[in-house]
Amino acid sequence: MDQIEKKRRFRSVRIGTLIAIAVIMLAVIMVLFYAPPEGETNNVRGDAEITPTVGITNLTETLKINHTFQYKDIDITVSQAMIATKFSDDKNRAGKYTIRVMVQTQNKGQEIMGVDYASLAHLVLPDGKVIGTKRVSVKPLEMPNQPQTGYFDFPVDTQVSLSSLSLRFDTATTVPFGK
């Protein structure tokens, strides 16, 4: 009888060990699949995402604009424009050149505003041709009193003088780049 009791005790210790190993393996697998990737702000340590420095290839012209206009309750400042053959953060090239228009936005109202910048912003070339954006880095949700900085990218096939261009925003606002 004593020997049967020892076997039962040995089996229960062995089963308990196997269950513990299975639980640990399950926890490791869940961490590997469901833990946030390193560098995201929703991770355990709260690390802020590091924004890499943008490399610019063949920057041919830069123009300071500093023109502010209002769309609904949002102040939009067009600060500068650049033309280059490539920006390192632009993965999908559309033209031989990219015109990047730097903007700052701030919602002056008290409610969250949604703005579809991609469909509202257009570049007007000297010949009157209108080009839509290929990439917009400004988030479409504007939080109250929270400034944003970003850009609108426009593809062009030929090098143009930035001072001959203008930014058309919706149908009512045009910001000329030249003086």
Q: What is the CATH number of the domain that holds 75?
A: 2.60.40.4170
Residues 18-39 have a mean pLDDT of 83
| 108 lies in the same domain as 171 | yes
Strands (E), the chain: 56-57, 61-71, 74-84, 86-87, 97-107, 113-114, 121-124, 130-132, 135-136, 141-142, 147-156, 166-169, 173-176
Structurally, the chain folds into a number of domains equal to 2
Does residue 13 sit in helix, strand or coil? Answer: helix
Structural domain containing residue 2: 1-50
Alpha-carbon distance values, 108 to 72, 117, 135 (Å): 9, 17, 25
Alpha-carbon distance values, 130 to 140, 147, 171 (Å): 22, 28, 12
Instruction: Determine the pLDDT at residue 68.
Output: 93
**Residue appearing with tokens 């007007």:** 124
Residue 3 φ/ψ region, left for φ over 0, alpha for ψ in the -120 to 50 degree band, beta for the rest:
alpha
| 82 lies in the same domain as 100 | yes
pLDDT exceeds cutoff 70 at 132: yes
| 42 lies in the same domain as 75 | no
Whether 115 and 140 have beta carbons less than 8 Å apart is answered as yes
pLDDT exceeds cutoff 60 at 5: yes
| 70 lies in the same domain as 90 | yes
| 11 lies in the same domain as 86 | no
For residues 158 and 10, the model is more confident at 158
Instruction: Determine the pLDDT at residue 46.
Output: 53
Alpha-carbon distance values, 53 to 3, 29, 123 (Å): 72, 35, 26
Instruction: Determine the pLDDT at residue 30.
Output: 87
Instruction: Determine the pLDDT at residue 35.
Output: 74
The residue among 9, 31, 50 that closes a domain is 50
| 135 lies in the same domain as 68 | yes
pLDDT-derived band at 90, boundaries 50, 70, 90: confident
H/E element, 12: helix 2-34
| 37 lies in the same domain as 124 | no
For residues 142 and 36, the model is more confident at 142
